[in-house]
Structure 1
């Protein structure tokens, strides 16, 4: 899909001349760049899922087997009985490694891999603390460190606490972030937005950060940006449009504020952003769901040759979302999976995955 058009080409050249990336800086590749592997985590029985754990495990096994058709998949599991259960459920196409976890949300607990000049990979550890202490996750707090040790990748300790779902990159120096999940006294006490932005730029190699407001306290993540707005290519952003049928609510206000910011924003290369909306399904068409259920197609994952996104049972909305993402990611298959058990925990496919980029 073409990047945004219709604005003055002289202006474009002026902005591109102003874009001077630091050649010594790290680089955070976009999700659609080639992967060496995808990481997932196996939620153990006896975890916070309680009696829902078997259904959630089935969702994760289905996701792991699907992704393994396109790229290597590494699944973290422990203790030993959970490792055995994961191997049985996922089969030989998925590598299971004995790293203990508390839950499945490896987008937030795992390392964020950046590329150093000279093609060396480093993993940034953002010190997961249970989304600002909302839950206790002693094993997950060590996932980034343990996984990097397993892979033999150097670890970088970030100077802030964050989760991988709290920022989005275009791979060209631009980050999208929600203020509500980062400028937070339970994650980064005493740190200002400017200080947090400087640290994001330092460890991720960004040159421009676009902030949307988000909302605090409405979900456990305090509104991660990967359920609000996603880069689909440089200059093009997919925007989640909440269900409007029952009138405006807090998520409608989040959407409207984010849209207003993104309509005025420029990326690291000075481009205005083209916005493509992806509407949520009709809640009355998907059955009775819990209060935390995440009914957002935006929580998809882009892997080698495929886009994997949820389907919810609203056939019209499911087909429309798949068609839009097919247009936005030409040349990739689009696979839709039912992950209703994972959705009941307030997350989705993107929350359950973390990519390891190929070292150039």
Structure 2
């Protein structure tokens, strides 16, 4: 399934644990640290669903890519792979011996969206913020993926703190210093938070992440499965600074190009210092649905794991830009084209647990 072409017969299957109506907010004091803060470990999910990935050959390609990402990250920090126990024997053949496999059933690989969002307080206590995953607005099966956050919290013995939100962590970006950015299309949307106005969603996001400031841009409704997640376009790299992908030659008829330019302008107007990484001019995959997002990288302990798309010039610009924003970390680039064909990337496939 292409994430920019999400029509599928089974899209509405799955569960949703609450309706999105107003609920009591948890006690304050917890916040979600910046991704570049020290990690205890990285969580990932093993894709297995033949409803989501009906082509067995392509599914094997996706699994090999997830294994490569996990093995790469494991050289920098511990990795936990989540999967049903019936798959462990096969998975272990593809993973480094350093990677631990937990019996948490999954359907798909997008741990940034379905996985736990970890928060910490000033006493070093951890909690999991419950942003309820519902298959990007019931577009994809999620009977198992909708339960991953609470199952991981239970295994770790951590409190699960409700946020009153339905959505995905890939739809909001945090700097760990009080600022968030997001596209309205991923949150102010009846497929996730019916009946909630933007102000209420903003208040709940700020409470969930322990933040004080929100930078919104409109995004794109209904053109891809995520309703245009921010983490495939723009990222914080520190307080008041970030990076963004932009096309060198914007297409006025492409809603993603127009939304990207709008997001850039709003971030700059909000006082952000944004470095631009151009989208690749040439790439190995020519499909129009392919997402070539340099911004969809993952920061781990001592490393930055990023994609390369086959354009020598822009691949180098991206690596050099990331190295300048994350000094002292090794930038490792991988060919993750199969994830781009699905509309995602490395950041979408990972979720960090901060060190307490």
TM-score normalised according to structure 1 size = 0.88
- Measured in 2, the distance between the counterparts of 1:334 and 1:192 equals 40
CA contact (8 A) 1:40 1:74 kept: yes
Query: In the alignment, which residue of structure 2 is the partner of 1:318?
Result: 315
Query: In the alignment, which residue of structure 1 is the partner of 2:194?
Result: 189
Deviation digits for residues 322-346 of structure 1 (CA, Å, limit 9, x no counterpart): 0111111100000000111121111
Query: In the alignment, which residue of structure 2 is the partner of 1:15?
Result: none
The one of 256, 274, 277 equivalent to 2:261 is: 256
Q: Quote how far apart the aligned CAs of 1:244 are.
A: 2.0
Counterparts of residues 1-360 of structure 1 (less than 5 Å): 25-44=29-48, 46-51=50-55, 52-80=58-86, 82-242=87-247, 244=249, 249-265=254-270, 272-282=271-281, 285-359=282-356
Q: Quote how far apart the aligned CAs of 1:253 are.
A: 0.6
- Measured in 2, the distance between the counterparts of 1:24 and 1:155 equals 14
CA contact (8 A) 1:280 1:317 kept: yes
CA contact (8 A) 2:243 2:275 kept: yes
- SS of alignment partner, residue 277 of structure 1: strand
Deviation digits for residues 261-306 of structure 1 (CA, Å, limit 9, x no counterpart): 11111xxxxxx21110111111xx2234334321110000000000
Deviation digits for residues 129-181 of structure 1 (CA, Å, limit 9, x no counterpart): 00011112100000001111112211112201120101111111111111010
- SS of alignment partner, residue 319 of structure 1: helix
CA contact (8 A) 2:76 2:300 kept: yes
- SS of alignment partner, residue 133 of structure 2: coil
- Across the aligned residues of Structure 1 and Structure 2, the Cα RMSD in angstroms comes to 1.5
- Measured in 2, the distance between the counterparts of 1:109 and 1:296 equals 20
- Measured in 1, the distance between the counterparts of 2:84 and 2:287 equals 28
Structure 1 residues 24 and 102: CA distance shift in structure 2, 3 A: closer
- Measured in 2, the distance between the counterparts of 1:127 and 1:70 equals 30
- Measured in 2, the distance between the counterparts of 1:47 and 1:332 equals 39
Q: Which of structures 1 and 2 has the bigger CA Rg? A: 1
CA contact (8 A) 1:64 1:73 kept: yes
Q: Quote how far apart the aligned CAs of 1:37 are.
A: 0.3
- Measured in 2, the distance between the counterparts of 1:242 and 1:151 equals 42
- Measured in 2, the distance between the counterparts of 1:172 and 1:256 equals 25
Report the number of matched residues. 328
Structure 1 residues not aligned, in runs of 5+: 1-22, 266-271
Structure 1 residues 115 and 79: CA distance shift in structure 2, 3 A: same
TM-score normalised according to structure 2 size = 0.89
Structure 1 residues 288 and 201: CA distance shift in structure 2, 3 A: closer
Query: In the alignment, which residue of structure 2 is the partner of 1:13?
Result: none
Deviation digits for residues 193-226 of structure 1 (CA, Å, limit 9, x no counterpart): 0010111122221111111111111211001111
Structure 2 residues not aligned, in runs of 5+: 1-26
